[in-house]
């Protein structure tokens, strides 16, 4: 059993997905704060425009005031049109995202339920396999088959050692022959065999060379050097094939013992659970893909990347403010202060300060949105890597769950980056042992177990690919 202080692969994945959900939630709260700040800035600009109109009516002649107010109205109308479109897009994306986040959360919860069902079905099959192993190993039939397999395995192992030793010695023994250019030439020409072919003159020369180096005596020795390792390897392969046959007979005995205990029904339940998980997996992947694209759209809107609408609105207002008539209005108000225009000017100055504060807040919120989005994306990449590496295998365990939990909290607070999390996952990974022999009744058990070296279980097929 998994130790209480350990997390399973499924529990660890759930904790990572929980952190991602929290980051999405923080982004949603940030969006609300940003919309509120943008609304405050817009309201202040409208108040400022009204103040400027009032000041123009007091300080400027009718023609100049009319021209100024016209410029202000045109700029404001264009700015409001741009900002309204921007707000509508923000609202639409926010609503779509909120609905999709609920769908993703629901699908992920369903996947965890389906994965738990696979774990439970696998546990039932493994328990039965262990019971079958204990029972079958007491039978004379199994013991005889096991002894025959072990004896054949010992013979095959010894034959493989001899073949390997002969192959290792072959290089040293062949060296004198291979380094003799005349011998190598005649061997390649196949002299002394039915495959030898040459003209009369070449034959005469080859015979002279062969007689000179004693080729007729050396050739059989060299041929034997090459032949012996081949024959030994063939013998070893034949012995190993015998082992495979005896192993198959032993596995058949074990499989019949499992069938007697009802393994077929339990394996059917496990197969159905795996198929259900495959369908839910596909649903989660698709919904997460849609959410990923929507997040990219939201990021562009919130941070201004690839979406200059908000900046365009500010530039439109600034262009209207930069008209010479507006400069003249301020100059006139300062030159001939009256009770009425003094109050308006003071009000405008206060509004300008508030607008500057609101704009600074909006800029800060945008920077925070950028940083938060980057953190969430990094954790999503860890989640995807976690699954493609096979760390969510039913037998996967993580013995440093406390450190993983603390690191996820630090990521949420922006203290550390996700690279630390991946290092912890790699260091904490382990797997619980199987119940019963790993090859018990093989190849009858259709479920891949963890293997050394960080094997990618997804490719091995523990998690079926796609809907079934």
Q: In this structure, are 362 and 278 located in the same domain?
A: yes
Taking the mean position of all CA atoms in its chain, how far away is CA 160? 42
Looking at residue 8, what DSSP letter applies?
Answer: E
Residue 319 counted as domain residue: yes
Q: In this structure, are 46 and 90 located in the same domain?
A: yes
Task: Give, for all 468 residues of the chain, the pLDDT tens digit.
Answer: 445 578 999 999 999 999 999 999 999 999 889 888 888 888 888 888 788 777 767 755 555 555 555 666 666 666 667 777 777 888 888 899 999 999 999 999 999 999 999 999 999 998 998 999 999 999 999 999 999 999 999 999 999 999 888 888 777 777 787 778 888 888 888 887 878 888 888 888 888 888 888 888 788 878 877 788 888 889 999 999 999 999 999 989 999 999 999 998 998 999 899 999 999 999 999 999 999 999 998 888 887 665 565 555 555 555 555 444 455 656 666 665 566 777 877 787 888 889 889 989 988 998 998 899 999 999 999 999 999 888 999 989 999 999 999 999 999 988 888 889 999 999 999 888 877 666 777 665 667 766 555 555 554 567 775 554
Residue 396 counted as domain residue: no
Tokens representing 416 are 């550390």
How many domains is the chain built from? Answer: 2
Domain boundary among 195, 230, 260: 260
Residue 417 counted as domain residue: no
| First-to-last C-alpha distance (Å) of the chain | 31
Tokens representing 359 are 């704009």
Q: In this structure, are 300 and 365 located in the same domain?
A: yes
- Domain holding 254, by residue range, is 140-260
Domain boundary among 204, 226, 260: 260
The Cα 114–Cα 117 span in angstroms is 5
The Cα 439–Cα 194 span in angstroms is 50
* The predicted structure's pLDDT at residue 322: 47
- What would you measure as the largest C-alpha separation in the chain, in angstroms? 131
Q: How many beta carbons lie within 10 A of that of residue 22, not counting itself?
A: 16
Residue 108 counted as domain residue: yes
Taking the mean position of all CA atoms in its chain, how far away is CA 456? 12
* The predicted structure's pLDDT at residue 468: 47
Whether 263 contacts 212, CB under 8 Å: no
Q: In this structure, are 229 and 318 located in the same domain?
A: no
Q: In this structure, are 120 and 225 located in the same domain?
A: no
Residue 449 counted as domain residue: no
Q: In this structure, are 147 and 133 located in the same domain?
A: no
Residue 421 counted as domain residue: no
Q: In this structure, are 225 and 297 located in the same domain?
A: no
Q: In this structure, are 60 and 127 located in the same domain?
A: yes
The Cα 80–Cα 74 span in angstroms is 10
Q: In this structure, are 124 and 154 located in the same domain?
A: no
* The predicted structure's pLDDT at residue 118: 93
Tokens representing 152 are 């054949």
DSSP for 429-446, written as a single string = EEEPPPSS-TTTTTTS--
CATH of the domain at 123: 1.20.1270
The Cα 345–Cα 290 span in angstroms is 51
* The predicted structure's pLDDT at residue 1: 47
Residue 432 counted as domain residue: no
Residue 454 counted as domain residue: no
Q: In this structure, are 201 and 244 located in the same domain?
A: yes
* The predicted structure's pLDDT at residue 243: 94
Q: In this structure, are 176 and 253 located in the same domain?
A: yes
Whether 236 contacts 159, CB under 8 Å: yes
The Cα 115–Cα 106 span in angstroms is 14
Domain boundary among 351, 377, 403: 377
Taking the mean position of all CA atoms in its chain, how far away is CA 422? 11
Cα 14 to Cα 7, 112, 215, 284, 383: the distances in Å are: 10, 8, 75, 13, 10
Q: In this structure, are 96 and 17 located in the same domain?
A: yes
């Amino acid at each position: 059993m998994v130790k209480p202080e350990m997390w399973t692969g499924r529990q660890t994945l759930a904790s990572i997905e929980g952190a991602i959900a929290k980051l999405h939630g923080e982004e949603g709260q940030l969006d609300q704060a940003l919309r509120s700040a943008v609304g405050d800035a817009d309201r202040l600009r409208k108040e400022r425009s009204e103040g400027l109109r009032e000041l123009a009516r007091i300080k400027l002649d009718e023609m100049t005031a009319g021209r100024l107010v016209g410029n202000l109205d045109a700029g404001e109308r264009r700015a409001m049109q741009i900002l309204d479109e921007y707000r509508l897009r923000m609202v639409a994306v926010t609503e779509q995202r909120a609905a999709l986040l609920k769908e993703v959360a629901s699908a992920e919860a369903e996947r965890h339920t389906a994965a738990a069902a696979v774990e439970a079905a696998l546990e039932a099959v493994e328990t039965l396999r262990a019971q079958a192993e204990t029972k079958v190993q007491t039978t004379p039939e199994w013991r005889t088959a096991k002894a025959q397999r072990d004896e054949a395995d010992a013979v095959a192992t010894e034959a493989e050692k001899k073949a390997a030793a002969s192959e290792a010695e072959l290089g040293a023994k062949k060296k004198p022959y291979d380094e003799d250019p005349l011998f190598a030439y005649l061997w390649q020409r196949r002299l002394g065999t039915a495959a030898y072919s040459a003209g009369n003159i070449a034959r005469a020369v080859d015979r002279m060379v062969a007689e000179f180096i004693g080729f007729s005596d050396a050739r059989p020795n060299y041929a034997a050097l090459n032949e012996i390792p081949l024959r030994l390897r063939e013998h070893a392969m034949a012995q190993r094939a015998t082992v495979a046959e005896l192993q198959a007979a032993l596995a058949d005995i074990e499989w019949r013992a499992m069938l007697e205990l009802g393994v077929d029904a339990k394996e059917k339940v496990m197969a159905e659970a795996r198929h259900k998980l495959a369908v839910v997996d596909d649903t989660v992947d698709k919904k997460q893909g849609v959410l990923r694209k929507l997040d990219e759209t939201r990021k562009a809107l919130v941070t201004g990347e690839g979406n200059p609408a908000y900046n365009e609105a500010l530039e439109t207002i600034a262009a209207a403010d930069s008209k010479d008539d507006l400069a003249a209005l301020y100059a006139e108000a300062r030159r001939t202060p009256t009770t009425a225009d003094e109050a308006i000017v003071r009000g405008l100055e206060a509004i300008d300060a508030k607008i500057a504060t609101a704009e600074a807040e909006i800029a800060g919120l945008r920077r925070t949105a950028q940083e938060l989005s980057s953190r969430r994306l990094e954790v999503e990449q860890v989640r995807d890597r976690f699954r493609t590496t096979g760390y969510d295998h039913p037998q996967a365990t993580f013995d440093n769950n406390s450190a993983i939990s603390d690191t996820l909290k630090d990521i949420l607070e922006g203290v550390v980056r996700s690279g630390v999390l991946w290092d912890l996952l790699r260091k904490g990974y382990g797997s619980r042992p199987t119940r019963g022999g790993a090859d018990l009744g093989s190849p009858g058990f259709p479920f891949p177990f963890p293997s050394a070296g960080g094997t990618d279980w997804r490719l091995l097929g523990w998690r079926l690919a796609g809907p079934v």
